[in-house]
A and B are shown apart, each in its own frame.
Chain A
Amino acid sequence: MSVISDIGDLMLGDARADRVVPPTGFTATLTLFASGAMAFLAVFALALAFATGRLAERWEGALAQSATIRLSAPDGEVEAQIEAALTILGQTPGVASARVMSQAEQAALLAPWFGPDLPLDLLPVPRLIEITETGAGFDAEGLRFRLAGEAPGAVLDDHSRWRRPLAEAAARLRTLGVVSLGLIGGAMGAMITLAAGAALSANAQIIGTLRLVGARDVFIARAFVRRFTLRAAAGSAVGTAAAMAAIAVLPPAGGETSFLTGLGFRGLEWVWPLAVPVVAAIVAFWATRLAALARLRTLP
């Protein structure tokens, strides 16, 4: 059986071959509905993958462009080490700016945990230097090495230990979205295989007649393959359109709103869901083709 010939028939159509199988039956409705539902879910899984991708970029971007130096030193050495650290930072390529956070800013950072009346001047709280990076970033290891030599109380935190788990979580969410797409495709293939098997069984008498007049398995399979592929494409096109409409009317994400309100597509990402009916048709083509040929081999 030539796959190319099958695909050609699929695109061009063969009305005569199509007509040998009755057009109605529960498998038609089942295939349309299931492929529509699967496409609907697939579009949401795709949106999830894109949203988590954006989330990962945002988290990484927000933390990657800044770093902090935490400086703890004995009384009397603090100011000297701050000066030394600022001098080093001023000489470090990739550092756009560096400033010492005021006690009021530090108190504001600690307020959620210790309350607004924290007497910072009485507590051995380290001083913080906020670093803003250039786009190219700086050499963290080199900076640490210099700080260790000239401001031994300074500890550089480039946020990587915060960034890494966040990036990993986002990557796993994205993987989850992709795995969901795979599972949806697999489930759709399984469903179409079952529906094609049921259709072949229901049409066993017709298959017998076709064989009586000299039909090869390829001819019989082709009639079913074309039908199921077109049904799956049509059903998934409707499901895709419905899902895209549903996503389009989701509440818009704004500012620091939650992740879920950011679910959706932006810009050219809207093109991706249009591939869902095409992929569904490809899945249906192969599922039906394999199921039909396997089933026909078992029929006398």
Chain B
Amino acid sequence: MIELKDVGMNYGGGTLLDGVSLALPQGSFHFLTGPSGAGKTTLLKLCYLELRPTTGQVEVFGEPAGNLDRDGVAKARRRIGVVHQDCQFLDHLPIVENIALPLVVAGRDTAAEAGNLAELLAWTGLTHRAEALPPELSGGERQRAALARAVIMSPEIIVADEPTGNVDWEMSQRLLALLLELNRMGRSVLVATHDLTLIRQAKTKVAARVLRIRNGKVEAAGADL
């Protein structure tokens, strides 16, 4: 579904990623870990085409990303649900409209999707907060809303950047449960996190592959987790 082939990424004269190869097949569950600044977010952005690699190639759904024009990138992103680190909401719209935003930009009839939207709000526990504006939500509610927005288009892969970074333990468990449920439904999941406890808990419930970025390289994490 998404494959990075010998990808390198330079930033400001330095090398952030070097010769990274990674495949995210359908139904897989990957954790990406590593210290802050190691390149986790950059690698995720390469996956959802916000960045283009300095060297190497990114393939999404069998198509080299370099072959995609701007519309092609937009259409590919509709098949990738992204939970951004800072959620990235439109603060002037109620949270229900933020969650429905992918439907709107895709030209889908939101009235026809009202049932799905209600289910999604219930699934993420946000029914009572549907009309609240994003700044009025707590960190956990924002993360759950971001997850709801990421999955409303039934994407084939979920990419989440530190989804539990700003939430308490209880909320992180809830978010993890949601991600595991999505994976059980056949979605591929890639989560960047340095929350090792979360990774250990997930590994008890799913055959997750844990990758670590170190010195620009991606390697399989060992038993030290």
**How many angstroms between the C-alpha atoms of A174 and B70 in the bound complex?**
48
Answer yes or no: B144 CB below 8 A from chain A CBs: no
Pick the residue among A19, A20, A214 that contacts B74 (CB under 8 A).
A214
Contacts of B104 in A (CB 8 A): 16-17, 20
The residues in B between 138 and 156 inclusive whose CB is less than 8 angstroms from any CB of A are: 149, 153
Answer yes or no: B101 CB below 8 A from chain A CBs: yes
A16 x B70 contact (CB < 8 A): no
Q: Quick one: given A19-B93, A208-B88, A210-B105, are A217 and B70 in contact (CB under 8 Å)?
A: yes
**How many angstroms between the C-alpha atoms of A296 and B153 in the bound complex?**
24
CB-nearest residue of chain A to B102: A213
Give, as a whole number of angstroms, the nearest-CB distance from B75 to chain A: 7
CB-nearest residue of chain A to B49: A211
**How many angstroms between the C-alpha atoms of A206 and B88 in the bound complex?**
8
**How many angstroms between the C-alpha atoms of A215 and B153 in the bound complex?**
13
Contacts of A209 in B (CB 8 A): 88-90, 101
A214 x B90 contact (CB < 8 A): no
CB-nearest residue of chain A to B88: A209
For chain A, the count of residues having a C-beta within 8 Å of the partner chain is 22
| Of B74, B84, B104, B105, most A-chain CB atoms within 10 Å | B105
Q: Quick one: given A16-B110, A208-B88, A209-B88, are A214 and B93 in contact (CB under 8 Å)?
A: no
Contacts of B74 in A (CB 8 A): 211, 214-217
Q: Quick one: given A19-B93, A20-B90, A209-B88, are A214 and B75 in contact (CB under 8 Å)?
A: yes
For chain B, the count of residues having a C-beta within 8 Å of the partner chain is 25
Contacts of A206 in B (CB 8 A): 90
A214 x B78 contact (CB < 8 A): yes
Contacts of A219 in B (CB 8 A): 105, 107
B93 x A213 contact (CB < 8 A): no
Answer yes or no: B162 CB below 8 A from chain A CBs: no
Contacts of B97 in A (CB 8 A): 19
Give, as a whole number of angstroms, the nearest-CB distance from B146 to chain A: 10
Answer yes or no: A212 CB below 8 A from chain B CBs: yes
B106 x A214 contact (CB < 8 A): yes
CB-nearest residue of chain A to B70: A217
B153 x A22 contact (CB < 8 A): no
**How many angstroms between the C-alpha atoms of A216 and B88 in the bound complex?**
17
Answer yes or no: B192 CB below 8 A from chain A CBs: no
Pick the residue among A211, A213, A215 that contacts B149 (CB under 8 A).
A213
B92 x A213 contact (CB < 8 A): no
B110 x A22 contact (CB < 8 A): no
Contacts of A218 in B (CB 8 A): 71
CB-nearest residue of chain B to A300: B50
Pick the residue among A17, A19, A216 that contacts B70 (CB under 8 A).
A216
A216 x B101 contact (CB < 8 A): no
A214 x B153 contact (CB < 8 A): yes
CB-nearest residue of chain B to A203: B90
**How many angstroms between the C-alpha atoms of A215 and B50 in the bound complex?**
13
Interface pairs (17), CB distance under 8 Å: A16-B104, A16-B110, A20-B93, A20-B105, A206-B90, A208-B88, A209-B90, A209-B101, A210-B101, A211-B74, A212-B84, A213-B77, A213-B102, A214-B74, A214-B106, A216-B74, A217-B70
